[in-house]
Amino acid sequence: MVFNKVEGNVTAARGFSAAGIHCGIKKNKKDLALIYSEVPAKAAGTYTKNRFQAAPVIVSRENLQNGKARAVICNSGNANACSGEQGLQDARRMAALTAEMLSIDPGEVVVSSTGVIGQYLPMEIVDAGIRQVAKSLSPQGGPDAAEAIMTTDLISKEVAYEVEIGGETVTVGGIAKGSGMIHPNMATMLAFITTDCAISTELLQKALKYTVDRSYNLITVDGDTSTNDMAVMLANGLAGNAEITSENQDYQRFVEVLQRVNTELSQKIVRDGEGATKFLEVRIEHAASFLDGKTLAMGILDSNLVKTAFFGEDANWGRIVSAMGQTDVEFYPERVNIWLGDLQVTKDGQGLHFDEDHAKEILKHKDITIRVDLGMGEETVTAWGSDLSYEYVTINASYRS
């Protein structure tokens, strides 16, 4: 299928505008973002599975129950998590004031926050910020919104693609944030995706969940999840295609372009991982099932011993097989073959003599592929992660300061 990558983000699709400003939650960086659809939109969401769910997650789940939304308001610098009834009131206040400024219903507003846990939002500052950011909306405001949702991120994350569906050009674009506390079942990450595709609410939710499971839920930086994570998608139908109401060819095209967008955003998160010096791709081939492949890939990527070996550029494949063996996946060790880049290091579960200098050259690269052939089935699962460096410890030892 042919996709066209285009310059843009959440405002690449027809009918969307955005803004990002500094309102004062953070000292001197943008900290409040707004995304808006000029017409009513279908909406879908996936959320953190952490038992401590932040107030904005609870409120957004409530608001999206009817599958409709027109705006996303997001602050950074304060998570509004573990903030009790006051936190819920503040999240609802954010939705209500955003709705007032945009002349829409409060139930059409997604609320999101990211930052330090356990502090109340400075609502006087936030209120003034919402009034300001609503007046700053622009079709060119996507980069500012992408910047405003960042916390420890070093780079903003945005992408957009076009594809033909039903004879019309459909655009899917998005922004994301995330750098640390990254792990499957969402992480300390936010993703906001927009499209002008006409699609039913049910299929929008199904497509989002399917692609999230194969993108954001297949990345890890440090094995920690968070309280605030969500991926939310708005579809306003302005592309003019016939509404997708069944899992036909148009639906498959939509899923594929959405997968491309979410995969790129998730990879950008890993590449920006706190203290990361390596981008690790683990490909589990010939697995018996998607779940088996995912479990093994994440077991490898979450192992601190594996992470530190790659940081030290040490071809210690024994740490890879050890990480696999401590999962609950049933496989035959005597069938396992492993490659680091193009260099095979094990065959039929046993180590091979290999050129250590060649291995060292492979591990000097920032991007490294670890390929594992299980010899079990037909499923291939690819996941992404990073190494563990001194810098990661430094960043997280002083996060609140």
Catalytic residues: 188
The answer to whether 345 and 339 are in contact (CB under 8 A) is yes
- Starting at the edge strand found earlier in the chain, the sheet holding 279-287 runs 219-220, 379-386, 279-287, 367-373, 337-340, 343-347, 350-351
What would the two tokens of residue 57 be? 């997650």
Residues 6+ apart with CB under 8 A from 343: 315, 354, 355, 358, 359, 362
Identity of the amino acid at 355: D
Neighbours of 259 (CB within 10 A): 17
Query: What one-character-per-residue DSSP string does 346-384 give?
Result: EETTEE----HHHHHHHHHSSEEEEEEE-SS-SEEEEEE
Please tell me the distance from the alpha carbon of residue 192 to that of residue 230, in angstroms, as a whole number. 8
Q: Could you give the C-alpha distances from 314 to 317, 354, 362, in angstroms and in order?
A: 9, 13, 10
Please tell me the distance from the alpha carbon of residue 69 to that of residue 66, in angstroms, as a whole number. 9
Q: Could you give the C-alpha distances from 257 to 184, 194, 393, in angstroms and in order?
A: 21, 12, 36
Q: Determine the Cα angle at 129 with ends 181 and 57, to 5°.
A: 40
